[in-house]
Every structure is written in C-alpha cells, then in structure tokens.
Amino acid sequence: MNVKERGLLIVLSGPSGVGKGTVRKALFSQPDIQLQYSISVTTRKPREGEVDGVDYFFKTREQFEQMIRQNELLEWAEYVGNYYGTPIEYVEKTLQEGKDVFLEIEVQGAMQVRKVFPEALFIFLAPPSLSELRKRIEMRGTESEELIRDRLKAAKEELEMMDAYDYVVENDQVELACERIKAIVTAEHCRRERVAQRYKKMLEVE
C-alpha cells in the first residue's frame, strides 16, 4: 500500500543582490533540515572551494546546450555570459519519492518553473526595505527627500515583482528568514486540502 504524498517543490527567488545564496546556505547548514537541495548546472568556472556535484554541476557550453535541446532543464537562463539551469530529472524523481525539493533561482527562472509546476511554492525573498522605509519616513527631516524617493521607487518595483509569488520573506536577518521559510514548508504540509487528500487515499485503498 502506498499512501505516500508527492513532495513539495519550493522555489526561493527574489531580486538580485537580496541574499538568496546566503539564505540558502544558512538553511542547508542546519542539521534538522528536511529539504532536498536541487543542485544547478552551470557553464561558469568553479570558484575556489567549489566542488562539482556539490555546489554546481559544471558543464561546457556544448554540454549545456545539448541539455536545453533534449529538454533536460526545468528552467535555464544566461547571466553575465554563463548558463545556469535546473536539471528536471532530479527534481521529478525526488518529488515522486515524497521528498520536498528546494530551488534557489533567479526571478526569470522562477517564472519558467511556474509554467511547468504551478502547484509549487513560490517564495519571494525581499530586502528589508519596507521596515527600513517606515523608519526613514517616520524620521523624515533627518533624511534627504531624494533618498526616501529612491526607496519608495524600489518598494514599488518589489511590489510588482512579488505578484507571482505565494509568500514574501523579508531578509532582515538571515536566521529569521530561514525560520520563516521552514515555517512556510511546515504550514503547507498542514493545509487541509493536502491532509484531506491523504485521508481520502487511505479510505479509498480500503
């Protein structure tokens, strides 16, 4: 009897420079983490200390382009002259085993994943601009109007970007951001629709 639930696909994304990689590393350095990290493929050269098959799968451009042609990538993008992508096989196999898969990718990649896996959890990592902005507005007079205007413009852009996401996690502190991401995963496993499906499967099998 197999009543195993398919795993959740969790996509962490957000504007560049927001600290996605830092949050991901902090998350996976925790001993109790239950998520499976999907390692990306890239054509960029390994940096010092980076290990093939741990940090990335390092490929040549020819190899990467072949993966594109053979539909082996869930999402891919070219960024500063290098390819980055997510191999679909690992993601699909791991989800089928009932394990949750975690991707940390760029915004354009997240939009590609959304088309293939609309049921995935999309988490937008946001800079701590909102709470900062609030403070700055409250302290108005001590700050230049121009600075506040720049911040407001950035907030407007973030607001537009986050529209395609299910959750927004503010990266005010890396540890707090990790706690929120873990809470989101725990809560999603408790959603009534999911639990009811498990009950139904159990009752059907009988």
Q: Is 14 annotated as a binding residue?
A: yes
- Would you give the binding string for a copy of itself spanning residues 163-182, x where CB under 8 A is met? x-xxxxxx--------xx-x
Indicate which single residue of 23, 74, 91, 162 sits in contact with a copy of itself (rule: CB under 8 A). Answer: 162
Q: Is 85 annotated as a binding residue?
A: no
Asked if residue 32 binds a copy of itself (CB under 8 A), the reply is no
67 vs 113 by CB, closer to a copy of itself: 113
Nearest one of 65, 38, 69 to 54, comparing CA atoms:
38
Q: Is 19 annotated as a binding residue?
A: yes
Least distance (Å) from a copy of itself to the CB of residue 194? 8
**Antiparallel, parallel or unpaired: β 40-42 and 36-37:** unpaired
Asked if residue 33 binds a copy of itself (CB under 8 A), the reply is no
| # of chain residues touching a copy of itself (CB under 8 A) | 43
44 vs 182 by CB, closer to a copy of itself: 182
HSE (CB half, 13 Å, CA atoms) of 65? Answer: 4
Asked if residue 190 binds a copy of itself (CB under 8 A), the reply is yes
178: Cβ contacts below 8 Å, ≥ 6 apart: 23, 26, 27, 30
Asked if residue 132 binds a copy of itself (CB under 8 A), the reply is no
69 vs 140 by CB, closer to a copy of itself: 140
101: Cβ contacts below 8 Å, ≥ 6 apart: 7, 8, 9, 10, 35, 36, 37, 38, 90, 91, 94, 95
Asked if residue 102 binds a copy of itself (CB under 8 A), the reply is no
On whether the CB atoms of residues 158 and 169 are closer than 8 A, the answer is no
Q: How many CB atoms lie within 10 A of CB 190?
A: 8
* Long-range contacts formed by 160-165: CB under 8 A, 24+ apart: 161/14, 161/15, 161/107, 161/124, 162/124, 162/126, 164/110, 164/111, 164/114, 164/122, 165/13, 165/110, 165/122, 165/123, 165/124
Given the rule CB under 8 A, which of 30-38, 86-94, 98-106, 192-200 is the region that contacts a copy of itself? 192-200
Detail the residues annotated as belonging to a binding site: 14-21
Residue numbers of the site for a copy of itself (CB under 8 A)? 1, 3, 123-124, 126, 130, 133-134, 137-138, 152, 155-156, 158-159, 162-163, 165-170, 179-180, 182-184, 186-188, 190-192, 195-196, 198-200, 202-203, 205-206
